[in-house]
Amino acid sequence: MFRKTKLRLVALNALVFFILQNLFGAMIYVYTHYSLYSQADQTIVEKKNHLLSERDKLSTELNPEKEENQRLVYILWKKGHKLYKELPNKSISKSDTDRFVHLVNKEGLQSIKIGAESYHFINLSVSTHKNYAPVQNIQIVYNLKRENEMLSHLLMVIGFGSLLSVFIAILAGIYLANKSLIPIKHSWEKQQQFVADASHELRTPLSVMKLNLEHLFRHPDHNIEQESETIHQVIQEIKYLSKMVADLLTLARSDSNQLQFVQESVQLDEILHPLAKDFQMLAMVKNIHLTADIQPIKLMGDKERLKQLVVILLDNALKYTKENGAISIKSGVRNSRAFIEISDTGIGISKEDLPYIFDRYYRGDKSRTRHTEGSGLGLSIAKWIIHSHSGKIRILSNEGEGTQVFVTFPLKSKK
């Protein structure tokens, strides 16, 4: 699947890169062509204006030796459009000069191509002068040979660059395709792992339920009291399965941005106090000492999701703290941010597992049972809730020494 996708990305990226390179080359050529020809036309117009302002000195001005631009040619026509003189002499062949005679009466800048040569020219009517009495028209001609040579060389360079750009475009396409596929491959692998883990987690309780129900069929004469343990185990599996499905549905909706948060003013301490009391009762069953230091906090958020977050964190702390251990809950405001800190003296998390604890279904200790471990989705949901509230989470832990969870949220006043 990825091979076909990669080939398509390479082709698309290479095509875009090739088009951009050649478009850039074409822009350079067009701009250079316009610039060179405009400069030539400007030279012709400036010379015409100069001659008009120096009508009485035409013999001096029409001097090839005085002319700085040696590519300017003056064709002088006498009455009846007959050639009088060409300055410099023989700069244009007789056959080429005959082509200009038909254009003597044209106004404005003109262009003509004769064989391989290109010219721009302008016509000028002059008054008679004692040195140029027969002259009635002057054509100021600019030979574009050098400009065309420059454009020809530029076109060769662009053409070579265009061929080279094919290889560059392919290499760039491969590089960009590989870079583009990295997050796609990563997401695909995570999705495949997620599906595999979810299938395994769902299959296990279903298998247990099936075995227990088959056990009931094997003893149809037993009453409910005799099979109460089997029925209780089935109920537990149903609860586990329901929680698993609910967590999966939450994550699926969060991935597709279907879940909407209710932004309202929330007293975080009003959420923490009842939960602390509830978990104190559960902690007493395991002989765990739970303390709470909760300060008043007001922020903007979704009350139900924030409650779900605290339940997940406290539930994890209670699960992984052994008898005679301790759990503490602290909350308040620090550095203009609301914070929740939950610490425990539980089994802790190894340094190797710590970077992956927010991955779905990740299990650091494979020896833990799934009922102890839970659905494996709690911290993924917690991270999603925190990020959706523009918050941050940090977990410090050492194996065998307990865990500290720090959660912070920005303080926002209700508008």
pLDDT at 108: 86
pLDDT band at 344 (very low <50, low <70, confident <90, very high): very high
Kindly report, as residue ranges, where domains of CATH 3.30.450 are found in the chain: 1-180
* Contact call for residues 407 and 336 (beta carbons, < 8 A): no
Q: Architecture of domain 1-180 in CATH?
A: 2-Layer Sandwich (3.30)
Kindly report, as residue ranges, where domains of CATH 3.30.565.10 are found in the chain: 264-410
End-to-end CA distance of the chain: 50
Kindly report, as residue ranges, where domains of CATH 1.10.287.130 are found in the chain: 185-255
Q: Which helix (H) or strand (E) holds 371?
A: helix 370-373
Residue 23, strand partner residues: none
* Nearest-angstrom CA–CA distance, 308 and 262: 14
**pLDDT at residue 373 is higher than 90:** no
Residue 165 burial (CB < 10 Å; 0-12/13-18/19+)? buried
Pairing label, strands 326-334, 289-294: parallel
Domain 185-255 = CATH 1.10.287.130: yes
How far is C-alpha 358 from the geometric centre of its chain's CA atoms?
25
Percent of the chain that is helix, strand, coil (3-state, to 5): 55, 20, 25
Lowest mean per-residue pLDDT among 53-62, 391-400, 406-415: 53-62
**pLDDT at residue 62 is higher than 50:** yes
* Contact call for residues 359 and 380 (beta carbons, < 8 A): yes
pLDDT at 375: 60
pLDDT band at 133 (very low <50, low <70, confident <90, very high): low
Phi and psi at residue 276, in whole multiples of 5°?
A: -60, -40
User: pLDDT by residue (tens digit) across 196-244?
Assistant: 766 766 776 788 788 888 888 888 888 888 888 888 888 888 887 887 7
* Nearest-angstrom CA–CA distance, 402 and 190: 29
Has this prediction a pTM greater than 0.95? Answer: no
**pLDDT at residue 27 is higher than 80:** yes
Domain 264-410 = CATH 3.30.565.10: yes
* Nearest-angstrom CA–CA distance, 277 and 104: 106
- R_g of the chain computed on alpha carbons: 44
Q: Which residue has the higher pLDDT, 267 or 97?
A: 267
| Residue 292: half-sphere exposure toward Cβ, Cα within 13 Å | 18
pLDDT at 380: 84
* DSSP assignment letter at 311: H
Q: Which residue has the higher pLDDT, 184 or 289?
A: 289
